[in-house]
Amino acid sequence: MKRNIVFVINYFYPDYASTGQLLTELCLHLQHDFNITVIAQQPGYAGEKNEEGKRIVHDRLENINIIRIRLPEVDKQNKLSRLRYIATYFFYANLLVLRQKNVDYIYTISQPPILGGLIGTIGKVLKRSKHIYNIQDFNPEQAEAVGFTKNKLVFKAAKWMDTLNCKWADHVIIVGQDMQQTLFKRFNNQKVTENSVINNWTNEQEIVPLTKQHPKVAAFIEENGWKDKFIIMYSGNLGLYYDLENLIKMTREFNNIKDLLFVFIGEGAVKKQMQDYASQHGLTQVHFLPYQPKESLKYSLNAADVHLVVNQKGIKGVSVPSKIYGVMAAGKPVLGILESESEAHRLIQESQCGVVAEPQDYESAIRQIRYLQSLNPNQLAEFGARGRAYLEEHLRRELSLEKYRKLLLSI
């Protein structure tokens, strides 16, 4: 008989958020082994307006039951707005979990910070179910790294609470080897909850290497006016944890190189700040686009000559930028601005798919950009081909999905 699992994940199909896309694919993969209910917010990650007036809406995707919560609009740069949004989600997510019948497993992720895990802890106690806690980002460590909170008392209380969530969980899943070390530190050499490292993924059968001459890639380049340009692209969340508001300042060093473009695709808390900086300094070689439809992603990714994969200083062991999997699948060279020995840094070094610089070492990043631009197309293609080959051997989507399936069936 199938067991019943409730996924409490703030983003789900058709949201653009990377966690939403990953967990959608996971649920689709598991739907024949479990009875799945998903509790998520109504779509709106990329700023879409939602006209649905009801607070709770029921939906369905294949065999998956979806319960969607209408949440207040959020200004990601305003702490009070974020708190209102998170508190509303936390209240209704808990309420909906408690309404579910015959719950065998509650699966939560580390979003919203701390409270995502707490929903699972509360549900485990009140529903007498198993709790699987998937940590995509460690908080409050991530918030501390970017200075989102400087209150030591708040930091200690939040860290204590999330460590408690880890201790009470039946299994903890982390998405990088460096993050497993952070989990061990949380337990301070005491007995650690059963845990597994399962990396995130991309669909390497959908995202495939294409040349700039491919009709749809060429059309994307043409319609944006990028023909015959060397394109350095960042595609993903323009959020607080990547130092993008400072990295964009590097582009001034290349303002006189007319065939070099910097392209930022996505939405996020620092996008307007980046756009304002580019406008104020006349950075005509810096371009911004919204998130691209999922069916167009392989064409936009392949329009680039080099992709940026970045993290803020202090994020090592705290988070893994999932965009690296899509870049490797597209067979493009990577410029990683990442801390040494972090998960994404390790992947770049092991696969030899690109070059790296340390976060906040902007001079080194500028030198690496100049180096990559100096390479001929064949040399760039070799970087990308090595990344694709490594991904096919070690990071295929099916490998991760099957690890999840076997783990959940074993608990």
Q: Tell me, yes or no, whether 150 and 29 share the same domain.
A: yes
Count other Cβ atoms within 10 Å, centred on residue 163.
Answer: 16
Please say if the pLDDT value at position 367 is more than 80: yes
- Please tell me the distance from the alpha carbon of residue 99 to that of residue 30, in angstroms, as a whole number: 22
Residue 176 predicted with pLDDT over 90: yes
Judge if 191 and 284 occupy the same domain.
no
- Name beta bridge partners: 263: 233, 287
Same domain, residue pair 81 and 138: yes
Closest CA to 155 of 167, 143, 138, 164: 143
Q: Count of domains in the chain?
A: 2
Tell me the average pLDDT of the chain: 93
Give phi and psi for 129, each to the nearest 5.
-120, 175
Q: From residue 100, how far is each of 26, 36, 107, 123, 388 by CA, in Å?
A: 21, 11, 13, 10, 42
User: Does a structural domain hold residue 291?
Assistant: yes
Q: 357: Cβ–Cβ under 8 A, 6 or more apart, which residues? A: 335, 336, 337, 364, 365, 367, 368
- pLDDT value of residue 73: 83
pTM of the model: 0.90
Closest C-alpha among 67, 69, 58, 5 to residue 36 = 5
Sequence-ordered list of residues with C-beta below 8 angstroms from that of 310, at least 6 positions apart, any chain: 234, 242, 243, 244, 247, 321, 336, 337, 338, 359
Has residue 209 been placed in a domain?
Answer: no
Cα end-to-end span (Å), the chain: 15
> What confidence tier does 77 reach under pLDDT thresholds 50, 70, 90?
low
Asked if 319 and 138 touch (Cβ cutoff 8 Å), the reply is yes
- Count CB-CB contacts under 10 A for residue 392: 12
Domain region containing 367? 215-394
pLDDT of amino acid 152: 84
Q: What confidence score (pLDDT) does residue 46 get?
A: 47
- Taking only the tens place, the pLDDT of each residue in 280-336 is 999 999 999 999 988 899 999 999 999 999 999 999 999 999 999 999 999 999 999
- Coil, helix or strand for 402? helix
Dihedral sign computed on CA atoms, order 292, 298, 304, 307? positive
Residue 393 has pLDDT above 70, yes or no: yes
Residue 47 and residue 27 share a domain: yes
How far is it between the farthest Cα atoms of the chain? 66
Q: Percent of the chain beyond pLDDT 90?
A: 84
Q: Which token pair is 93?
A: 């997510």
The torsion angles phi and psi of 364, rounded to 5 degrees, stand at: -65, -40
> pLDDT-based confidence at 49, cuts 50/70/90?
low
SS3 state at 295? helix
Residues paired with residue 298 on neighbouring β-strands, in sequence order: none
The answer to whether position 238 is within a domain reads yes
Average pLDDT over residues 146-151: 73
Q: Find the DSSP H helices in 188-338.
A: 215-223, 244-247, 271-280, 297-301, 323-329
Q: What is the pLDDT of residue 166?
A: 97
Same structural domain, 59 and 15: yes
304 part of a folded domain: yes
Report yes or no on 301 lying in a domain: yes
- Residue 66 is inside which H or E element, if any? strand 64-69
Q: Of 291, 314, 293, 285, nearest to 373 (Cα)?
A: 285
Cis peptide before 209 (omega within 30 of 0): no
Is residue 208 domain-resident?
A: no
Q: What is the pLDDT of residue 150?
A: 72
On whether both 127 and 17 belong to a single domain, the answer is: yes
| pLDDT above 60: residue 382 | yes
CATH number of the domain within which 8 lies? 3.40.50.2000
Same domain, 380 and 253: yes
Q: Both 188 and 50 in a single domain? A: yes
| pLDDT (0 to 100) of residue 372 | 97
- Answer yes or no: do 319 and 221 share one domain: yes
- Closest Cα to residue 173, out of 339, 4, 330, 404? 404
Q: Does residue 23 belong to any structural domain of this protein?
A: yes
Backbone torsions φ then ψ of 141, nearest 5 degrees: -60, -40
pLDDT class of 50 with cuts at 50, 70, 90:
low
* Shared domain check, 284 and 248: yes
Same domain, 221 and 194: no
Specify if 210 maps to a domain.
no
pLDDT in tens, 208-234: 999 999 999 999 999 999 999 999 999
Both 52 and 170 in one domain: the answer is yes
